[in-house]
Amino acid sequence: MIDESIYRFLKVVLLSSLFIFISSCDLNHDEKVCKVGNEVLYEEDLSLIQNVFYANLDPTQAREMAIQHWIQQKQIALEIQDTQAGTKEINEVIAAQDLARLNLFELENKYIKAHLDSLIHEDEIQAFYMKHRDDYRTQTYIVRALYIQIPDSVARELKVEDYYLLKNDKDIEEIKKIGNLYATNFYYEEDSWIFFDDLIRGIQISDEDREKLIKDKKSIIIYGEETYFINILDYKVKSVSSPLESEKEKIRNDILKQKISQLRNDAKDIILKQIDEKFPVTYF
């Protein structure tokens, strides 16, 4: 059995050790890392620099980079204090104002997050689209063209491939006759324009082939049970309103941006008034 005096001694030692351990944990952030002049870098400040500037690096590398970051800052500050003290004071005033703007911006963000109604209703989207319709436009092609869809066996028998390029008046007459009598679908209006997407509706053409076909004013034959003959005679680029359905997500984002902008316009005055009341000024 342990003597009572020894027990009390061991208890004191144990509690003292525990206190030292806890104290060392609490003071860990106040441990000194290095010193430049009279400026000391503490672990707590070093940890903050690491998290802000070097969070994506390996911890060991981040620590070294953060230390060098702090050292260089302090060395620059000491040098300008030695050589251009007046300039340093001016820079500090400017930096303080920049910091105030940055802090106010963060307070505005907090205000916006708390007050932003991010739910956008369908009627809002419709109204916004109608009001700003000119902002939702897309470029499309209109063409003068020949389009003929015809059963493959008929196309071969009537030698449509020989005529669809419309090299002369005879070709034009033959194509009109074939198109009107035998084609499943036929379009040829020499002096009229049609949207290219309407012309080829239902035909699978890659975007690359589509561009080449239009801009190079070329022709194409697409074979299958039904053969398609397309001959682009001329084209124009036309600006048209995009369909509402294809613009909904963009409109939703634009409405949110507008709401955020309106809130930010209000936030500055509201925040400055609140902090003026919260932190009153005493003049001397």
Question: By the 8 A CB rule, do 241 and 137 touch?
Answer: yes
Asked whether the predicted pLDDT for residue 232 surpasses 80, the reply is yes
Mean pLDDT in residue range 143-167 = 91
Q: What is the pLDDT of residue 134?
A: 80
Whether the pTM exceeds 0.95: the reply is no
Neighbouring residues of 180: CB distance < 8 A, sequence distance ≥ 6: 186
Within 10 angstroms of residue 16's Cβ, the number of other Cβ atoms is 10
Pairing between strand 137-151 and 219-222? Answer: unpaired
Name 137's bridge partners.
Answer: 241
pLDDT value at position 12?
39
Q: What number is the average pLDDT over the span 195-200?
A: 88
DSSP-derived 3-state class of residue 75: helix
Residue predicted with more confidence, 102 or 4: 102
27 against 41, higher pLDDT = 41
pLDDT tops 80 at residue 28? no
Mean of the pLDDT values across residues 230-242? 86
pLDDT in tens, 75-134: 999 999 999 999 999 999 999 999 999 999 999 999 999 999 989 999 999 999 889 888
Residue with tokens 């060395």: 75
